[in-house]
Amino acid sequence: MYYTDKRHETTGQPKSPGYELEDWRTRDRLKTVSAALAVCLNIGVEPPDQLKTNPGAKLEAWQDPFVPKALENIGRSLQAQYENISLRTRYKQYLDPSVEETKKFCISLRRSAKDERVLLHYNGHGVPKPTASGEIWVFNKNYTQYIPISLYDLQHWLQAPTIFVWDCSEAGNILNNYHRFVEKHEDEEEAAASADPNYEKTKYRSYLHLAACAVKENLPTNPQLPADLFTACLTTPIEMALWFFVLQNPLKTNLTPERAKKLPGRLQERRTPLGELNWVFTAITDTIAWTSLPRQLFRKIFRQDLMVAALFRNFILAQRIMTVYGCHPQSYPGLPDTHQHPLWESWDLAADLALAQLPMLEKKENEGVDYEYQSSTFFTEQLTAFEVYLARGDANLQKPPEQLPVVLQVLLSQQHRVRALILLGRFLDLGPWAVQLALSIGIFPYVLKLLQSAAAELKPVMVFIWTRVLAVDISCQPDLIKDSGYSYFASILKPSEGLPVANSDEHKAMCAFVLAMLCKGYKPGQVVCNQTDIMSYCLAHLRNDDNVLLRQWACLCISQLWHDLPEAKWRGIRENAPLKLSTLVKDPCCEVRAAVVHAMTTFLGIPDLTDEVARIEESIAWTLLDMTNDGSPLVRKELLVFLSQFVLRYESKFLVAAYEQLVEEREYLLHPPKDDGSEHKMGLHYTSPEKRNSDGTIKATAHGLSHNTVFASCWKHILILNVDPHPEVQRDATIIVDYVHNALLTSSTGIYAQALMEEIEKRARKTRGHKKQPSTSRNGYMGAAVTEFANPEPSPGLLKRTASLLFQIPSTIWGGENGSNPSTPMPSPSLTRTVSKKGGSAADWATPPEQKDLTAAYGQYNLAEEPVSGCFKERSFSKPPMLPLKSTFLDWSVEYFREPQMKPTEAEEPGSTEYNERLWRRSRNETILRETQPQKHFAGSHKWNNQLCIMNNSAQPAKMTFHQFEDHLAVADDANTVNIWDWKKQHRISRFSNGNPEGSKISDMKFINEDDTAFLMTGSSDGVLRIYRNYEAEKTTELAAAWRALTHMVPSNVNSGMVFDWQQVTGKVLVAGDVRVIRVWAAAYETCIMDIPARSGSCVTSLTSDQMTGNIFVAGFGDGAVRVFDTRLRPQESMVKKWKDDSDRQWIKSVHMQRGGQRELLSASRNGKVKLWDIRLDTPLKVFQTTRDTLRTASTHEHLPVFSVGTSAHTVKVFNFDGKELSRMEPYSSFLQQNRGTPISTTAFHPHRMILGCAARGDHHVNLFTCAQEKPEAYLSSL
């Protein structure tokens, strides 16, 4: 499959990202620095509104309140529990505080915390419940009274930010009133601020609440539970969860909650039973929160403050436990109810497995029994679940995986780390949405920390992960400089550094990408990278022949290292970088060639323009100029970006070159070249005969200022790109030309330039006026009809299309327009000449008159829309042209790393629609081949005069091509319109303009990639090849590629124009015509890989090649010669056979080598002789005289032993390979057009079926014939 890459769809235009970049960084990180633990118990005195049961819940902070010094024990224990959550916080206990004490500690708490968060823990078990109006209770000094404190006052003392834990009955009352009082405070602050402009407002916002129960709910009094159940859940979650597990266990065991709570180990040590359970618990509660909360809220609560995150995680446990006992814990911001989340079952399993080992663990501790604790399988299983998620459909549906927070936890353990990272890499590979998810859950600090690890096994996956992250979010640049994280990638990039993976080059390419992103638009990144040897490493990688991606990103990394950084450019000069880069201008990969141009573009512009710098920049320009003829529009577009920078840097020199170009243009119109082949001796420039030496070179006195300079050469190349067949390249070139012409007209020589332009315009009109040509084209002119038999006059100034703003001059390619849209202004003149094709004097062969077909004028041009490339946007003419052009290549290249690399494309994924369509097409193709193979004998012995159908093409058919498998017939007229027909249904399905300029025609058409989704390749006589995708759908036809395959050609309706042949098996296009070489282009590389000398003074008129191996091809010439070439040999030696009969010097109309059947080779010449060849022999196997009239067209069937000829006497004859005439037909001509004598214009066989298409000149109908004997309707419906 060719021309199906991303570059053919977008031409280097990045898609607008289909995602919004979330801000995943925790900007306003707060720490909880101080905490007040207020415990109001007044042990022994029951408050009046609290109902105590007997027996009832009694433990407070796991301490018995009815022992001596109980209150102190409880305070100490509570503080120790909190310290397990956060050691850094300063805690102060306030046991049974009075109202004065409360006010004092609240105010001092805020004072010591400044702007950080403070925590107030309130245990109200020994005081009345909070009131419905929003008051909590404390004591008076003598403990004789309960004193209420309004939340309004509490807010005034504590201000914000704050977090409250309310462990008391009816705690919901507090939450219901708190917001009301905050608003009241804020109103008062506003009023004070408006009264006094200098007033500093107090902040009351940013507060969090955790409350044990809702309004009208009392705390549980179950004797099996601690009295401060809520506090136990929040501060000792593992002990509480195990206690609860034993209480809820439906199986009979002799395990008591007290024993379960004493599971051995330390919370902080993940290898101990208790530590491991704590780790599992953290992962589960984190996951429950992540799957239940909106992303913003999750990040705010669980990723900003360790204390807050821990309390809220444990709050999720409180929801689960307390719901069982009729309490519904409340929070602000509110969390959804999660007590039935499926992950709690995983927790129960982990707890069960741990407690099952408790008896043995106790024995090990007490009796010294040897026992090894069996670790939990939770993390392994969750990673397996994540793997299943990645392999199944949910990942494709972009449903967030539940296991992501678990993967985060697993990164903490060395045991599972590599597996977790590999799975994380596979997840990030799914696309930007996955990267965003991973960043929002907080993966970044972990992967940043791991850059400090020296573990070799982590390197490949770390490189992959960082590549994905930077492709989506470049804001990580500063993080890579911190702690020298970038050196991790620099060391892997080192050419000598090995990596423990098969595709280490690909990982080095990713390192180059990461470093390029670090430098992109970020000077500190450039500075640190240039202090290392990254540039030297990249230059070394330019020589890596195995990996395209590495070469591409080595170039792009260099381009970012020295972009706008003179020191780096000087370093590049010292390391000979421009020369090393220039070795890649002929690289087989288009993206690498474009990357080289990009690097050279960013190199331009050292502020101190010394002679040395100018010399280097000029030599770069000379090196890149050859890329004007590159086959890839992507490369040519990038070249124009370079040229626009170059023009801007040397603007004054370009103004001189542009002015002198106008002078040459005038000379060309005044003294057109004689066709004597000496014109090329003038070299780059053109001048009148009196200014030339006797040998044809230009006299030294006539040299202009820009004579043979790089600036003149660049300017001429820009003018050539001005008429590029690819719309995006052409558009960008017109901007440069218009910019320079604008500058020229406003410069001091503006008046002279203006006069020159006007004179050129006048003379161009005048020359065109001589020919008195009739006319119709959509711009109101008409195509020219040449009225004499002689060769046409030399071209009146080769002006080409530019859509210029400056002046409205019609371009004059043989008196017509190059078909710019009527909406765009007319083109500006720019001379591009051609090197003469024929050395020596008159040729020894004559162009047959029918090449000029004088019976009718040209067809009309531009009758249909001209398809453009996928991302083409019209240039805006409302703004003046601005330089430099902006390159999009780097951003486009970055997209590669946002696209999934690990999973097969949709078309290769079994079961996908595309895959099924492909399978269906394959089986259909095989069926057609199976059905048509046995028809050989029948077709070679029966009449071919059964007329299938007649289709009105509404334009003269000049070329026809059948698709091998689809029912498509492409018909080109004699101008530039292509019609696509469904021949089975006989209706036209699409029509578009090929865009070749007036005076040229479509020489040939081929379908490529026919086995799958075919594209249409057209070649026109101006040397241009174009490739169209969706050619069968009028609205969506797009240009996939277009380039000038034959340079040095004048668009012409005379001589052979251009002929080409496509080899699907090798992906090569052979191109020839009125030039001295046969050029071989490789579709995969989009470059010319071979110029084979045609070894003839005559033009090539027909090409055919061996479609099975693609090594041999045969060319027919205008002087009757047929030559055989073998592309495996060196170009100079590749001609392996030449047949030329001096008595039969007749223009070869067709050579054709069959694809199947007997693989016969036939040649047909204008005098009606058809010869059958064997390339091993010197003489033809058979010679048939097929007609005494002129042979106008000949076609050979690809598989069946038949060929046809079309004559000048309106007859199509079909022969078999024994020379027996099977039938002769006269194509239908419409009744009113009495032109039964007109010649046949085109014939074509269907590659497989027994169908022949033909059409005559002067008529718009296409006729299809078959040798099948059924009635036409029956035959067509049987196919």
3-state class (DSSP) for residue 25: coil
**pLDDT > 60? residue 91:** yes
> Lowest mean pLDDT: which of 55-59, 355-359, 850-854?
850-854
**pLDDT > 50? residue 781:** no
Q: What is the CA radius of gyration of the chain?
A: 42
**pLDDT > 60? residue 1096:** yes
DSSP annotation of 430 reads T
Higher pLDDT, 1197 or 15: 1197
Question: One-letter amino acid identity for 665?
Answer: E
C-alpha dist (Å) from residue 1021 to 933, 997, 1044, 1100: 36, 10, 11, 12
What are phi and psi for residue 183, nearest 5 degrees? -65, -35
- pLDDT of amino acid 446: 92
Task: Identify which of 493, 442, 441, 440 has the alpha carbon closest to the alpha carbon of residue 467.
Answer: 493
> Lowest mean pLDDT: which of 498-507, 845-854, 951-960?
845-854
The dihedral sign for the CA sequence 1180, 1185, 1186, 1188: positive
- Residue 264 burial (CB count, 10 A): 14
**pLDDT > 70? residue 774:** no
- pLDDT of amino acid 1198: 94
Question: Six-digit token pair at 1025?
Answer: 């090849």
> Lowest mean pLDDT: which of 946-950, 1093-1097, 1133-1137?
1093-1097
As a whole number, mean pLDDT of residues 269-285 equals 94
**pLDDT > 70? residue 829:** no
**pLDDT > 60? residue 429:** yes
Residue 272, strand partner residues: none
Task: Identify which of 747, 701, 739, 705 has the alpha carbon closest to the alpha carbon of residue 722.
Answer: 739
- pLDDT of amino acid 853: 52
What are phi and psi for residue 197, nearest 5 degrees? -60, -25
Question: Six-digit token pair at 550?
Answer: 């590495």
pLDDT classification of 930: cutoffs 50, 70, 90: very high
* CA distance linking residue 766 with residue 782, whole number of Å: 16
pLDDT classification of 675: cutoffs 50, 70, 90: low
pLDDT classification of 1092: cutoffs 50, 70, 90: very high
User: What DSSP assignment string belongs to 712-771?
Assistant: HHHHHHHHHHTT-SSHHHHHHHHHHHHHHHHHHHHSTTHHHHHHHHHHHHHHHHHHHHTT
**pLDDT > 50? residue 803:** no
- pLDDT of amino acid 48: 87
> Lowest mean pLDDT: which of 119-128, 317-326, 790-799, 1059-1068?
790-799
The dihedral sign for the CA sequence 448, 449, 452, 458: negative
Mean pLDDT, the chain, rounded, equals 88
Higher pLDDT, 988 or 393: 988
Task: Identify which of 556, 474, 485 has the alpha carbon closest to the alpha carbon of residue 522.
Answer: 474
pLDDT classification of 1234: cutoffs 50, 70, 90: low
- pLDDT of amino acid 779: 29
DSSP annotation of 689 reads G
- pLDDT of amino acid 1050: 47
User: What DSSP assignment string belongs to 528-564?
Assistant: HHHTTTHHHHHHHHTT-SS-HHHHHHHHHHHHHHSTT
As a whole number, mean pLDDT of residues 1250-1261 equals 92
Cα angle 643, 646, 652 (rounded to 5 degrees) comes to 120
pLDDT classification of 785: cutoffs 50, 70, 90: very low
- pLDDT of amino acid 918: 94
* pLDDT tens-digit map of 849-873: 666 554 345 578 888 999 999 889 9
**pLDDT > 90? residue 771:** no
The contacts of residue 114 (CB under 8 Å, 6+ apart) are: none
Evaluate whether 355 touches 261 at the Cβ level (below 8 Å): no
Evaluate whether 1267 touches 943 at the Cβ level (below 8 Å): yes
* pLDDT tens-digit map of 463-503: 999 999 999 999 999 999 988 999 999 999 999 988 888 88
Higher pLDDT, 227 or 790: 227
Residue 1256, strand partner residues: 1240
**pLDDT > 60? residue 789:** no
**Helix and strand totals (H; E) in the chain:** 39, 36
* pLDDT tens-digit map of 990-999: 999 999 998 8
- pLDDT of amino acid 181: 96
The residue whose two tokens read 């859509």 is 803
As a whole number, mean pLDDT of residues 91-99 equals 96
C-alpha dist (Å) from residue 961 to 597, 627, 1044, 1243: 39, 32, 22, 9
> Lowest mean pLDDT: which of 554-568, 664-678, 889-903?
664-678
* CA distance linking residue 756 with residue 734, whole number of Å: 20
**pLDDT > 90? residue 1089:** yes
* 1169-1173: strand order across its sheet: 1148-1153, 1161-1165, 1169-1173, 1182-1185
- pLDDT of amino acid 812: 29
C-alpha dist (Å) from residue 675 to 601, 766, 791, 840: 40, 21, 11, 10
**pLDDT > 90? residue 763:** no
55 prior amide bond cis, ω within 30? yes
As a whole number, mean pLDDT of residues 55-74 equals 94
Evaluate whether 105 touches 92 at the Cβ level (below 8 Å): yes
* CA distance linking residue 305 with residue 160, whole number of Å: 15
pTM (predicted TM-score): 0.88
Residue 970, strand partner residues: 961, 980
As a whole number, mean pLDDT of residues 411-440 equals 92
* pLDDT tens-digit map of 693-736: 888 788 888 888 988 899 999 999 999 999 999 999 999 999 99
**pLDDT > 60? residue 1052:** no
Evaluate whether 1201 touches 1158 at the Cβ level (below 8 Å): yes
The residue whose two tokens read 């500075």 is 527
* CA distance linking residue 782 with residue 410, whole number of Å: 75
Percent of the chain with pLDDT over 70: 91
> Lowest mean pLDDT: which of 636-640, 980-984, 1267-1271?
1267-1271
- pLDDT of amino acid 687: 85
* CA distance linking residue 886 with residue 876, whole number of Å: 15
Question: Six-digit token pair at 300?
Answer: 């705010």
> Lowest mean pLDDT: which of 318-327, 819-828, 997-1006?
819-828
Task: Identify which of 1003, 961, 958, 1005 has the alpha carbon closest to the alpha carbon of residue 983.
Answer: 961
3-state class (DSSP) for residue 1208: coil
Evaluate whether 476 touches 524 at the Cβ level (below 8 Å): no
Maximum CA extent, the chain: 136
